[in-house]
């Protein structure tokens, strides 16, 4: 899968810490389309940012299992993968973490169900929005994350959404 970007603290105007040994984390994300070509975004109200559905790959889990589990938990949908979007590697100094996020284009394959947010997600004010790709990019561009993680998520997901527009447009032209 194509690497779209490597993001480091200094790229985001944050202070880089020297001598860090990063723990690796793999995550999966999806730009999930519904029948009206809107995509799912999660609003993290407490920290004032939006994000694509997805999350960490658990030990022994393959990527598609993880993606399906995360999407079902966060937006209550079953999905079918359309194509790869790309991957982004984040070096998060504060967490001493190297996170590799793999993103896919997907379509909702049934009814939109209810999310199964963790207690932490619910306490952060998670809620689902279905918006156009352009509206999603506008929302993320206007976000002002209040926490360290949100700063990385905003940068990462804007890149994924811009690539998704490019892929979506190329599929329409075919």
Question: CATH no. for residue 40?
Answer: 3.90.79.10
Contacts of 172 (CB under 8 A, 6+ apart): none
Burial of 168 (0-12, 13-18, 19+ CB in 10 A): middle
What pLDDT, in 10s, does the model give residues 102-140?
Answer: 999 999 998 898 999 989 999 999 999 999 999 999 999
**Average pLDDT in the 21-50 region?**
96
- CA triple 118-130-172, angle to 5 deg: 130
pLDDT of residue 171: 67
CA 151 vs. chain centroid, Å, equals: 13
- Residue span of the structural domain in which 9 resides: 3-173
pLDDT of 168 > 90? The answer is no
Q: What does the alpha-carbon distance between residue 5 and residue 12 come to, in Å, rounded to a whole number?
A: 13
Is residue 160 within 8 A of residue 128, CB to CB? The reply is: no
pLDDT of residue 169: 76
Task: State percent of the chain over pLDDT 90.
Answer: 90
pLDDT of 142 > 70? The answer is yes
What pLDDT, in 10s, does the model give residues 59-102?
Answer: 999 999 999 999 999 999 999 999 999 999 999 999 999 999 99
**How many independent structural domains does the chain possess?**
1
Q: Residue 129 has what DSSP assignment? A: E
């Amino acid at each position: 899968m194509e690497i779209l970007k490597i993001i480091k603290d200094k790229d985001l105007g944050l202070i880089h810490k020297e001598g860090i040994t990063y723990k690796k984390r793999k995550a999966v994300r999806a730009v999930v389309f519904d029948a009206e070509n809107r995509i799912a975004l999660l609003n993290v109200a407490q920290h004032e940012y939006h994000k694509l559905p997805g999350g960490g790959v658990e030990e022994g889990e393959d990527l598609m299992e993880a993606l399906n589990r995360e999407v079902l938990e966060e937006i209550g949908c079953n999905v079918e993968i359309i194509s790869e979007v790309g991957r982004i590697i984040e070096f998060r100094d504060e967490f001493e973490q190297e996170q590799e996020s793999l993103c896919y284009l997907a379509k909702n394959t049934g009814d939109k169900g209810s999310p199964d947010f963790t207690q932490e997600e619910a306490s952060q004010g998670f809620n689902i929005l279905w918006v156009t790709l352009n509206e999603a990019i506008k929302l993320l561009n206007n976000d002002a994350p209040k926490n360290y993680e949100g700063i990385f998520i905003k940068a990462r997901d804007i890149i994924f959404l811009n690539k998704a527009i490019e892929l979506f447009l190329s599929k329409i032209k075919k």
